[in-house]
Amino acid sequence: MEQLGLERRGRRLAAGPSWHAVSTSGRSAARKTSGISPIIWWFLAIPLALEAWWVFYPALESFYLSLTSWSGAGSPRYVGLRNYQLLLQDPIFWTALRNTGLWTLTFGGFSFVFGLLVARLLNRPRRGVTFFRIAFFLPMVLSLTVTGVFWQVIYQPGSPMYSLLALTGSARGAGSGILANPQLALWGVLVAALWREIGYIMVFYLAGFNGLDPALEEAAQVDGAGAWRRFWSIVMPQLREVHSIVFAILVIDSLRTFDIVWAMTQGGPFNSSQLLSTYMYQEAFTALKLGYSSAIAVIIFVLAIGFIITYLVRTYRTGVEDGARAH
Amino acid sequence: MALGLTDAIGTRRRERRHADKDRVWFYPVMTTLSVLWLLPAFFIVLISLRSTDDITTNGLSALPHSLSLDSFVYLFTQAGFARALGNSLLVTATGVVLSLVLGATSAFALSRFRIPFRVPILLLMLCGNLLPPQILLIPVEQICEALGIYNTLLALIVAQVGFGVGFYTFVLHGFLRNIPDEIFEAARVDGATPLRVFVSVALPLTKPALAALAALASTWIFNDLIWSLTLIRSEVKFPVTLVVLQLQGSYVGQWNVVAAAALIGAIPPAVVFFIFQKQFISGLMVGSSK
């Protein structure tokens, strides 16, 4: 299997006509703008119009709504930056923001470390390795909603997981379950989310390891470099491209996290597991504060946009130039 | 199944024999970890097979005193789960087909023709797919209400297609672009119209990428929660994810029913995954964002 951009240098030689070759050659008449048949314009215009209507316009509309006060009835009333000022004084917003930051760090960090670790352990072919890979990847097949419900059941008082935590004393005061404890709820959700994400990140690193040149590591081993040293000095630098893809995916996924929290705690108890995404949803569709919640959405967007651009630039370099090929 | 995932993930071919000698801990550690990893899923299966009485009397941790399919029967006869499955499958099938058709046409236009600003257009379309959905929810709900399609499966389909089309365009573009120009040139010389070139040359050649995207898209759409939550109100139109959550909320204590619902809800994407695992994993690798 060939992975996107992971074997970039090799690919560049092997790839078909590159983007630039296509765009600069333009031998045939059909290539010129004037000669493009109308149906091709429709081919592009319909999907683009659909996306403009259902994605770009709504995104811009949200920016406008964030400057208004609106409950859905009548028309939005322009209030300037008032929603943002209110946000600054809203303790739940700060909790949600802090949780989102914590979530991004822990969810991203643990997924990265354990995904990489498991991939490293399982990257050599040996007996049974496929079983282990499937075991770690399997949760990825479940939706976040189903994962959330799974773990909600697992965390119920009286379940094995609960008994285990009670034994170690971690569930003290969690009489009605881990997710009912404001101190534990977010971490309970985190464990469930990691259970699903680690196998996913593992796949990226398995592919990354697969694209490495084993001769380099062997040479280092012959020179007496230990496993730790080989990993840091030989393997990690070669994985730079995978790291940046994984990094962008993890940040974007973290900021998007909604389903699993919604399925497990809906941000509770007492907003203790509230993320910006869940808080936005509640303010919009439960409290019907559409202007205020749009301001939260804009903040999520602002937090995400830097990483989205990083990801686009990265994908553009590896994907568009070298060919993002599914096979 | 087992061999497939190895192939798909790609075991390194050049084996190194001497490096593994000191790894006596490998099998005990990995076996323990894998079993631990599978335990939650196993636990859910076990719960779904117990009766409500059994759980109430003996607690959640107990081994089943009797195995029964009551919870599954209950789901399909009392909880309207069959209808929810039907709704989900309808939305997923329509959504996937429309997404891929629209993604393929725009990718074809952008990759094989000198459309002005095609790189910015492509990146803009991809960017639309990377946006946090929260920034779209309220206006999309308003659009649906204005069109009179709020609380219909159609709204869900259109929202899914509109949001996904940028990503599908991007992936298919990368694929189409790498098909040698001579193939298209030959068709054109033979007098084929662009539509004909698209249908008889481009689409067949793109089949592997289409299969990968179909596998990915179907699990994404089937597993969706936030769009369904936002756009669907009536229970009769609930897709599986909403019914699972509804059961979880209203049947507290009947954990066997909740577990059964979660399991059945996981089956369609799991089937897609195991049938298309190779395409699935290679699809994930293509600039995945989900």
Dist. CA A279–CA A97, nearest whole Å: 10
Pure H helices in chain A: 8-14, 19-25, 38-51, 57-65, 82-88, 91-121, 129-137, 144-154, 160-168, 185-210, 214-222, 227-230, 236-238, 240-256, 259-264, 276-285, 290-315, 321-322
Q: Mark yes or no for CB contact A304/B174 under 8 Å.
A: no
Element (H, E) at B161: helix B153-177
Mark yes or no for CB contact B128/A56 under 8 Å: yes
Q: In a 10 Å sphere around its CB, with 0-12 CB exposed, 13-18 middle and 19+ buried, how is residue B190 labelled? A: exposed
Look at B135 and A301 and tell me if their CB atoms are within 8 Å.
yes
Chain A residues with CB-CB distance to B290 below 8 A: 253
Which percentage of chain B shows pLDDT scores above 70? 87
Taking every pair of Cα atoms in chain B, the longest distance, rounded to a whole number of angstroms, is 77
Question: Who contacts A130 (Cβ-Cβ below 8 Å, separation ≥6)?
Answer: B2, B3, B5, B6
Distance from C-alpha of A164 to C-alpha of B36, rounded to nearest angstrom: 13
pLDDT at B290: 32
Between positions 183 and 242 of A, the ones with CB within 8 A of B are 195, 200, 203-204, 206-207, 209-210, 214, 218, 221
CB contact under 8 A, B165 and A51: yes
Give the chain B residue whose CA is nearest to the CA of A43.
B105
Residues of A (1-30) whose Cβ lies below 8 Å from B: 1-4, 6, 15-17, 19, 22-23, 25-26, 28, 30
Full 3-state SS string of B27-40: HHHHHHHHHHHHHH
Bridge partners of A68? A78
At residue A68, the 3 state secondary structure works out as strand
Residues of A in Cβ contact (< 8 Å) with B169: 47
Place of tokens 């259970």: A195
Per-residue pLDDT of chain A (327 residues; tens, 9 = 90+): 333 333 333 333 333 333 333 443 344 444 445 678 889 999 999 999 999 999 999 999 999 999 999 988 888 999 999 999 999 999 999 999 999 999 999 999 999 999 999 998 888 878 888 888 888 988 888 889 989 988 888 888 777 777 776 666 655 554 567 888 888 899 999 999 999 999 989 988 988 888 788 888 888 888 888 888 888 888 888 888 888 878 878 888 888 899 999 999 998 789 999 999 999 999 999 999 999 999 999 999 999 888 888 778 877 776 544 433 332
Q: Convert the pLDDT of each residue in B119-165 to its tens digit.
A: 899 999 999 988 999 999 999 999 999 999 999 999 999 999 999 99
- The contacts of residue A8 (CB under 8 Å, 6+ apart) are A241, A318, A322
Tell me, what's the pLDDT at B252?
62
Residue B76 in contact with residue B263, Cβ under 8 Å?
A: no
pLDDT at A167: 67
Q: How many CB atoms lie within 10 A of CB A9?
A: 7
Q: Kindly report the nearest CA distance between residue A89 and chain B, in angstroms.
A: 22
Q: How many CB atoms lie within 10 A of CB B151?
A: 15
Q: How far is C-alpha A258 from the geometric centre of its chain's CA atoms?
A: 11
Confidence (pLDDT) at A163: 72
Distance from CA of A109 to the nearest CA of B (A): 17
3-state secondary structure of B247: helix
Q: Which residues of B touch A11 (CB under 8 A)?
A: none
pLDDT over 80 (residue B15): no
Question: Which of the four pLDDT bands, split at 50, 70 and 90, describes residue B18?
Answer: very low
DSSP string covering A210-269: HTS-HHHHHHHHHTT--HHHHIIIIIHHHTHHHHHHHHHHHHHHHHH--HHHHHHTTT-S
Q: Tell me which residue in A132, A294, A319 faces B138 most closely, judged by beta carbons.
A: A294
A82: Cβ–Cβ under 8 A, 6 or more apart, which residues?
A69
Do A249 and B288 lie within an 8 Å CB cutoff?
A: yes
pLDDT over 60 at B63, yes or no: yes
Contact A40 B289 (CB under 8 A): no
Beta-bridge partners for B139: none
pLDDT for the residue A318: 64
